[in-house]
Each structure stands twice: as C-alpha cells, then as structure tokens.
Amino acid sequence: MRHVIFFFGSGLAWYVGVCLLLLAAMIPPGRRSWLAGRALTVGAVVGGVLLILSGTPQPWWMIGGVLFGLLIISSVTRWKPQAKAAPWLRRLAISLGLLLLAVELPWAWSAGRLPTPAAPLHEIHVLGDSVSAGMGEREAVVWPVQLAELLKQEGRSIPIISHAQMGATVQSARKQALGLPETPSLVLVAIGGNDLLGPTTDAKFAEQLNALLSEICRPDRVVLMLELPLPPLRNAYGAIQRRLSQKYGVPLIPKRVMAGVLTGPDSTLDSIHLTTAGHARMAAAMKSYVDRVITSP
C-alpha cells in the first residue's frame, strides 16, 4: 500500500500517465500490429485515468485529457474523416504532452535554487502540526530534535525551535508564528495536512495560507515550505501552495520529499504520524535543505 501512496502522493502517477499518452500518440496506427494497437489504446486510457487521479495541480489537466482522448478515438477508428485528422491530432497531442512535462518538471526541483540570506542565520524555527510535533508520549524524538542532533554532530550548534502543535491547521499556525523572533532566521513551514484532511475549503485554505505567509515572510528571514502530497482529485490545494509560494518568493520543497518520508519502511504509526525512524528520515531530508541555506558554523 505504501508504494501506491507514494505513486500518487509524490506525483509519479502524473508522469507515468503523460508518458503513456505520449507513447500512444507517437506511434501512428499504420505502424501498429493489432495487438500493439490494443495495448497502446489500453495504455492511453490508463494514462488518462492516472492524470485525473494524480492530484497534480495543473489547472488545464482536463483539457489535456480531452485532447488526448480525441487523439485515441481518431487513431483507432477507420472512419475516413477522423483518419485524415489523426496525424494532426497526433502532433497536437505530442506537443501538448511535451508542454505538460515542461511545465511540471521544474516543480519536482522547485527548491533547487534557494535564496541567499541577507545576513547570517543562526536559528531555525519550525511551524507545523503533529507530523513535526509528534504524538506526545507515543513519540518523543521528533525530527526537529533529530535535525539539531545531526547538525551538532558536525560541530554546528544551531538552535532549532519547534512551534509545531498537534492538530494544528494553517489558521492556528498563525499563532505559532507569534513566537518567531525579529532576528534573522530560517523558518520551515510544514503545515496543511489537517486542512487537507479536514473541513477546510479550498477558498479558506488559500485565504489562511496567504495570511500566514504575509506575516512570516520578511527580508531578514528565509522561509521554506513543504508541498503537500495530495490524494486523488485534491488538485486545488497544491495549486494554492504553488501560487502563493511564487507570490511570496518562498521555495517549495517538492511533495516527493514528504511522500518519500511517509512511505518509507516503518516510517509511520498510521500512514501519517511519524515513528522515530520516520522522524529520522524527515530530519535527514530537511538537513539537505538547511545545509544549502545555513552555511556558517
């Protein structure tokens, strides 16, 4: 099951779906055997379903699915008017598929270029929910603590202050933000899971996340935000995160990072809340980004 969750939550399903549709589009009907034609048709249908269920926040994924559907219909039929249009539909579908890939691929490395701090950063603050705060007595060694230990082992004593709370939402994270100091610091925002799985509407999520980022984003801070792994048909939350990350210049740590942690062996208690091993994976993942921002000992 964890492999299925990673397949969809990381966005891999979207890439597989596009590739299946591109494969069907690139091989003309005249060059297919009967069996190959049927296999490509089935693959294209599967690809279209994966696009719909992937949760990838592309606002025009439905348009792409419709155009690819038209391509498949024209490619397998012998009706002459459609057969004549098939080459053009195929070229259109290939162009669209490549465009989809070109637009989405940068988000897989969206935190590739991290900002250079205006001043040395000597503190790290974490805003989050129970994925960062742990589950009380059931989990003590949370990833902010393990991250501090990893840095300490390298001789880098950087204070890490976690403001994370169990059950936190984006709205309640604004109260966590009150604890942020005025001094230059790195802020890791790992929030939104309870909104995604709870009653928070898309519009409310956008309003509250906009308010949170407007409060914490300052010239003397570097803010990084974790992209949420999305279940099927919850594209809007990802689109909101991406839009606001661009608005405020906040690098978005790709959802494959969180998805990889949640689906690692023995990483979670219940598919969401982390075990000590899961917190260790999260700490290691966050350290790779912290190292690129805080370079001073």
Give me the pLDDT at residue 50, please. 85
Amino acid at 240: I
Residue 294 has pLDDT above 90, yes or no: no
The pTM of this model reads: 0.85
Query: Where does the chain show beta strands of DSSP type E?
Result: 124-128, 160-162, 185-190, 221-226, 252-253
DSSP 250: -
Q: What are the tens digits of pLDDT across the range 41-74?
A: 777 778 878 887 888 887 665 556 656 665 665 5
Give me the pLDDT at residue 79, please. 47
- The CA–CA distances, whole Å, from 149 to 24, 144, 157 equal 50, 9, 9
Give me the pLDDT at residue 4, please. 80
Residue 297 has pLDDT above 50, yes or no: no
State the average pLDDT over residues 81-92: 63
- 229, 255 contact by CB (below 8 A): yes
Question: DSSP per residue over 218-285, as a string?
Answer: -TTEEEEEEPPP--TT-HHHHHHHHHHHHHHT--EE-HHHHHHHHTSTT-BSSSSSB-HHHHHHHHHH
Cα(252)–Cα(240) distance, rounded to whole angstroms? 12
Q: What are the tens digits of pLDDT across the range 160-190?
A: 999 999 999 999 999 889 888 888 899 999 9
- 96, 64 contact by CB (below 8 A): yes
Write down the mean pLDDT value for the chain. 82
- Enter the tokens of residue 297: 């000992």
